[in-house]
């Protein structure tokens, strides 16, 4: 009997389009503290360099690089206010689910699913309950669950404990995702969304970090498995 594989998904940019949620929260947070609106291409440059999987950390870094000294906790508080704590106008509700109807049903015939995300669990739950209540992801490893975030492989090791001896794939859209997979010895499939700034550059970076394939979105995933 052929053993089922395990598909481990990042959330942002992979399962969910976050161009108007997390990325917009970075733009608005930096503008709040600096008065300057940073282009999305600049945000992508920081992501491509690695080390900025945490959007609070990235917002704080860009703010400081623009010459404004502000406490990290102030950045986190403002980011959370506009992203999650503004009722129906919270930016989290601008997200869009990427998978087309039927994709996960077909994949479930051969694979189990898990998630490794840099989101807090509360944020992950809001989106998964909204769009994917009928899909079983186990485990869902969030920022709250690890001591060392991506690119450290701790999160993937936590997933692997649930599937001893099984082959894992990690599907992600950043250099940190790729480095996390490499450190864990897990096959990496990259996502370079067509609406990202300079998708060919991102695709080349992900391939250079060891991606076995780079897709424009997860709806192409069946073609490479």
Domain ranges of the chain: 5-17+96-223, 22-93
CATH number for the domain whose boundaries are 5-17+96-223? 3.40.50.1000
Ramachandran category for residue 7: left, alpha or beta (phi over 0 → left; psi -120 to 50 → alpha)? beta
pLDDT confidence tier of residue 135, bands split at 50, 70 and 90: very high
Q: What is the pLDDT of residue 199?
A: 94
Average pLDDT over every residue of 124-143: 97
Beta bridge partners of 16: 12, 97
Tens digits of residue pLDDT in 23-81? 999 999 999 999 999 999 999 999 999 999 899 999 999 999 999 999 999 999 999 99
pLDDT confidence tier of residue 3, bands split at 50, 70 and 90: confident
For the chain, what is the total number of helices (H) and then of strands (E)? 9, 8
pLDDT at 192 over 90: yes
User: Whole-prediction pTM value?
Assistant: 0.94
Tens digits of residue pLDDT in 138-162? 999 999 999 999 999 999 999 999 9
């Amino acid at each position: 009997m052929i053993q089922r594989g395990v598909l481990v998904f990042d959330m942002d940019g992979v399962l969910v389009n976050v161009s108007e949620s997390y990325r917009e929260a970075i733009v608005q947070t930096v503008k709040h503290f600096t008065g300057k609106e940073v282009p999305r291409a600049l945000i992508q440059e920081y992501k491509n360099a690695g080390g900025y999987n945490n959007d609070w950390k990235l917002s704080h870094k860009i703010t400081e690089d623009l010459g404004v000294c502000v406490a990290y906790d102030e950045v986190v508080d403002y980011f959370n206010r506009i992203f999650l704590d503004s009722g129906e106008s919270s930016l989290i509700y601008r997200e869009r689910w990427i998978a087309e109807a039927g994709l996960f049903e077909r994949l479930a015939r051969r694979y189990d699913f898990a998630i490794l995300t840099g989101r807090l669990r509360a944020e992950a739950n809001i989106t998964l309950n909204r769009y994917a209540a009928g899909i079983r992801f186990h485990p869902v490893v969030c920022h709250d669950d690890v001591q060392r975030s991506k690119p450290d492989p701790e999160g993937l090791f936590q997933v692997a404990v649930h599937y001893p001896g099984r082959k894992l794939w990690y599907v992600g859209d950043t250099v940190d995702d790729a480095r996390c997979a490499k450190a864990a010895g897990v096959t990496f499939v990259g996502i370079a969304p067509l609406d990202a700034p300079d998708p060919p550059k991102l695709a080349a970076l992900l391939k250079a970090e060891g991606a076995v394939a780079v897709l424009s979105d997860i709806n192409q995933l069946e073609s490479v498995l």
